[in-house]
Amino acid sequence: MNKVITINLGGNAYQLEEGAYDLLRGYLETAAARLRNNPDQEEILSDIESAIAEKFRQRLSGQKTVVTARDAATALDEMGPVQADAETGGAAQPDGPGRTAEPAAEDPAKPKRLYRIYDGAMVSGVCNGIGAYLNIDPTLVRLAFVLLAVFWGMGLLTYLILVVLVPVARSPEEKAAASGLPPTAQEFIRRAKAGYYEAVKNFQTHRQGRAWGRWFRWHACAGANPWQSPWRGGWAPSATGCRPWVGFAVLALALLSGALTIAWLCALTSLLATGLVFGLALPAGLPTWAAAALLLLIYGTLAGSLKTARWLSWWCHDSSGRPPAGALLAETVVWLLVTLVLLLLAVHSFPELRAAVQAVPGVAHQATDAIQKWWQSR
């Protein structure tokens, strides 16, 4: 039993087994890549699609309505590889397998390069590209950036710098170089599927849940020490008296920081999309990037003080002078939950916001392209 995919070839619908579809897509993508510099690329590809459609038609009948992988393989074999350049192409040897030497583009020792990859990207493809470059799951890279941004603010800066400096992989060759893999069609299909999967899966899967857990435990260990020493002496002795309000304070502060994060995200989005912050125009002469930096500064300052306040509440709670590792974890989890719940509620109750969230990847792509163009034009 095989899955069937319906496609449009030369204006007619055909039903293909999944294997046949993969083969066809691979063939057409390779053909498109080889004809990249051909001014008539579009036309040749459409001719080739029509020719394939005719071959499929010959293999179908009233009883047989689905093109099998075997049908597709023989049809594509009859088509023969698409020649990059008519000058170098030519007659297939009648008594040979009909394969001429591959064009020089498929150099096996292709160097790896860091690119941004839009296929399956969440924002601007930076994490996707790094994942491909290092051959690891881009979700892990995203997590690393999110955590770096949340705890030290460095992630955001690094991200913005990478957006400006790293080019986008657009051609199949560049996409191949991004992961150091040969630009074969099968590989693209696999990556495209992986990218799609990447884009649709959410944060509730077990694997990601475990990854979050690992990251937080790691952070809890690494982050605890620098925070302990400066506050230990002054606060620990007087801490016992403030216990009753600690629970409320932590919750209120977490709510406040969650709301602050959302407000900051909204402000940044509206700034990038419309040039206005909550309906207010920027002061004259202030460029957008400066406004974004200012917003980041304000957010950082407010979030920093709130964070300190939350830490102090925990300090009050535990008079031993040592914050329990669980407290650090719980504190972060509370903050994340509050942010997530607020975000979900907001998205749920305002249709405009939902539309805006869905438009984020597109807007982000445009924005990052604009930033990069501006950078290169200097």
Residues that bind another protein (CB under 8 A): 10-12, 31, 35, 38-40, 43-44, 47-48, 50-51, 53-54, 57, 78-96, 98
- If the CB atoms of residues 80 and 300 are measured against another protein, the closer one turns out to be 80
- If the CB atoms of residues 94 and 285 are measured against another protein, the closer one turns out to be 94
Q: Cα 192 to the chain's mean position, in Å?
A: 12
- If the CB atoms of residues 95 and 352 are measured against another protein, the closer one turns out to be 95
Helix ranges restricted to H, the chain: 18-34, 41-59, 69-79, 126-134, 138-151, 154-165, 172-179, 185-200, 206-235, 246-274, 288-317, 325-349, 351-377
- If the CB atoms of residues 11 and 234 are measured against another protein, the closer one turns out to be 11
- If the CB atoms of residues 58 and 301 are measured against another protein, the closer one turns out to be 58
**How far is the C-alpha of 123 from the C-alpha of 233, rounded, in Å?**
44
Q: Cα 46 to the chain's mean position, in Å?
A: 32
- If the CB atoms of residues 89 and 155 are measured against another protein, the closer one turns out to be 89
CA atoms within 13 A on the CB side of 25: 18
**How far is the C-alpha of 120 from the C-alpha of 195, rounded, in Å?**
4
**How far is the C-alpha of 213 from the C-alpha of 225, rounded, in Å?**
19
**How far is the C-alpha of 20 from the C-alpha of 9, rounded, in Å?**
13
Q: How far is the CB of 32 from another protein (least distance, A)?
A: 12
Q: How far is the CB of 82 from another protein (least distance, A)?
A: 4
Lookup result for tokens 């293999």? 59
Whether residue 100 contacts residue 89, with contact meaning beta carbons closer than 8 Å, is answered with yes
Q: How far is the CB of 14 from another protein (least distance, A)?
A: 12
